[in-house]
Amino acid sequence: MTAPDERHPVITPRRVRFDWSATPLHWIPGEPVATHFINVLHLLLPAGERWFVRVYKQALPLVADDPVLHGEVKGFMGQEAVHAYSHQGVLDRQMRDQGLDPRPLTAKIEWVFRRLLGDRPPLPVVPRRAWLNLRIGIIAGIEHYTAVLGQWILDARALDDAGADPVMLDLLRWHGAEEVEHRSVAFDVYQHVSGAYWRRFVAFFAGVIAMPLAVYFGAAYLCAKDPTLAGVRPRPRDYRRAVRKGLLPSNRFMVAAARRYLRRDFHPSGECSTRRAAEYLAVSPAARAVARAEPGRSGDE
């Protein structure tokens, strides 16, 4: 494998498929609460990543004067569309086939991304372009976390040691690896269309402050609707216990990532490892199946 370009790696969608027929509801054996903490990703990502694609359709003309970035944005949109579709498969099959119906909550999440964060500014006094720039800034902040969490899950050996389901781990690690691959795109788009540090700061908090609440309430919802769990509620000590086991990232990890992002000289290419992402994509069962079926399209072979 040649050395990957950390700053401008090739960004190509891989049209992966996953078979959920053998994945148990609690895909980390004996760890239903830790499973549902990570399952919150499946609740948020389909609606959230479809929203990224809608916002970036508007951003594309704004980066047309930079052909490299323009091409990377198209690759980014393609990857995010496949991510959304793939996590939707977990909701529609892996969860619902086993009696956990997430639709009442995912309908509300869809409303947040389609309406609250839609094209119409929340206040009539906000110009459309400023609203677009703010949403591009929010996406840049979220994409910092998808990249560092992608790197985290690539390296999370404790999930293998705990016997986590290999199909679910492949979904999360294939996705994580592609997040690492395209980690610079959202930041570069933001710098290109706006670049104001104050807006990056405000947008980061607007997007990220909701994250701990979403994770807690999402996990509580999944525990409440799980037909095999009678009245189990996720508690802070459940989270801390899973962190100690290495099954979840710590609060310290999340806060340290925020502090790095808010440095004025931050750039995502200084985070994570494209080499590590490429190493995983070379062995990922889902990515390898695409590489065999579509040689030359995956970017890996």
Nearer to Fe ion, 143 or 238 (CB): 143
Concatenated DSSP letters for 180-234? HHTTTHHHHHHHHHT--HHHHHHHHHHHHTHHHHHHHHHHHHHHHH-TTSSS---
The residue of the chain with the least Cβ separation from Fe ion equals 83
Interface with Fe ion in residues 88-107 (CB under 5 A) = none
- The Cα 266–Cα 189 span in angstroms is 14
Residue type at position 26:
H
Size of the site for Fe ion (CB under 5 A): 4
What's the closest the beta carbon of residue 179 comes to Fe ion, in angstroms? 5
Residue 199 in contact with Fe ion, rule: CB under 5 A? no
**Is the Cβ of residue 159 or residue 185 nearer to Fe ion in the bound state?**
185
List the interface residues with Fe ion, window 156-195 (CB under 5 A).
Answer: 179
Residues 6+ apart with CB under 8 A from 210: none
Of the candidate spans 82-90, 198-206, 223-231, 263-271, the one that interacts with Fe ion by CB under 5 A turns out to be: 82-90
> Is 83 a residue that touches Fe ion (CB under 5 A)?
yes
Q: Of 39, 86, 133, 146, which lies in the binding site for Fe ion, with binding defined by CB under 5 A? A: 146
Task: Tell me which residue of 301, 251, 298, 300 sits closest to 79, measured CA to CA.
Answer: 298
For the CB of residue 182, give the shortest distance to Fe ion in the complex, in Å. Answer: 6
| Residue among 229 and 254 whose Cβ is closer to Fe ion | 254
Nearer to Fe ion, 26 or 135 (CB): 135
Structure tokens at 110: 């869809």
CA distance 65 to 44: 33
The CB density around residue 127, as the number of other CB atoms within 10 Å, is 10
Footprint of Fe ion on this chain (CB under 5 A)? Answer: 80, 83, 146, 179
